[in-house]
Structure 1
Amino acid sequence: MSEIIRKLRVAAYAVIIDDGRILLSRWLGPERPRWILPGGGIDHGEDPYDAVVREVFEETGYHAEVRRLLGIQNVRGPLNRDGEDLDYHRLRILYEAAVVGGELTYEVDGTTDQAAWFPLEEVPALDHVESVDVGLEMYRTRPLDGRIPRFT
């Protein structure tokens, strides 16, 4: 029996909505590509605010301006990655942001390969990760404590 390894990942993501559309990136996940909020891991010593601006640019080609902190999604659970059993704890810092420049481009040799705008009403039908739903719920409800009930 293999030892369970504890892993913590802290990341920052942007909810960018404009004219009834949301900006998403296509993540090249281990199972299949799925749509996610633009963002990603925070480098050691990096401010989450700076990380989300950097990640949006890397994944979409857009310059983003953070408008406000939406909240934090806390997810913990078992995960088997590359044969290793992980007790995987993810903290996702979610910001509301807006595009202030740049042009839509795709990340090359990264964890995403596309970015696109989608009408909000089309999001439920997209193959996407749960943090998209969490981010949209935080955007809509603006919880004072920065938390929403856990998605299952």
Structure 2
Amino acid sequence: MRARIVLYNPENKAVLLIHRLKNGRNYWVIPGGGVEKNETPIDTAIREINEELNIHLKSADLIHFFKCEGKEYEEFFYTEIPYIVAPKINGEEKERASSNNVYQPEWVAVKELTKINLMPPEIAAKIVTLI
């Protein structure tokens, strides 16, 4: 199971995503990661955002957004953040990064989400509908 957070900036009407370039593949993901032992999905989402992006959130900051039961079960949460500049990647992702494994946080306008390779594919339409 994975937990992710849709980080939305209402001022620029954009979502903070991680642009991935991995072994020739070019795609985007919503920040988050895998649940560790004895963690709730919301705890996982908060931990992962802190580790990956150095953004500190509390459970009261998040609302449950939707769940995706595709290949892997994923819980998505939502919050609004005031950041305009995308943070730098941190944690394990920074350590694993290389020229063949890029993690680049970037703001993407909501209206552009259906035009990029956001994984899993059904997520872009869901976000556009709900925001």
Give CA-to-partner distance per residue, 1:4-51, whole Å, 9 cap, x none: xxxxxx000111111201110124556614111111111121121111
* Structure with more helix by fraction: 2
Using the alignment, how far apart are the partners of 2:81 and 2:55 within structure 1? 6
1:118 and 2:104 equivalent? no
**Structure 1: tracts of 5 or more residues without a match:** 1-9, 77-89, 141-152
The TM-score, its normalising length taken from structure 2, stands at 0.72
Structure 1 residues 32 and 121, CA gap change in structure 2 (3 angstroms): same
Structure 1 CA distance, aligned partners of 2:6 and 2:106? 13
Report the residue type matching 2:64 in the other structure. Answer: L
CA contact (8 A) 2:8 2:81 kept: no
Question: How far apart are 1:91 and its partner, in Å?
Answer: 0.5
Q: CA RMSD in A?
A: 2.6
Aligned residues: 117
The 3 A distance-change label for structure 1 pair 33 and 58 is farther
Give 3-state SS (helix, strand or coil) of 1:24's partner: strand
Give 1 or 2: higher strand fraction. Answer: 1
Unaligned segments of structure 2, at least 5 residues: none
Counterpart amino acid of 2:31? Answer: P
Distance (whole Å) between structure 1 residues aligned to residue 124 and residue 21 of structure 2: 19
State the Cα distance separating 1:135 from its structure 2 match. 4.8
* Alignment partner of 1:73 out of 64, 68, 71: 68
Question: Which residue number corresponds to residue 34 of structure 1?
Answer: 27
Aligned: 1:12 with 2:3: yes
Q: Does 1:105 align with 2:99?
A: no
Larger Rg: 1
TM-score, normalised on structure 1? Answer: 0.64
What is the CA–CA distance in structure 1 between the aligned matches of 2:56 and 2:122, rounded to whole Å? 22
Range moving further from structure 2, 130-139 or 48-57: 130-139
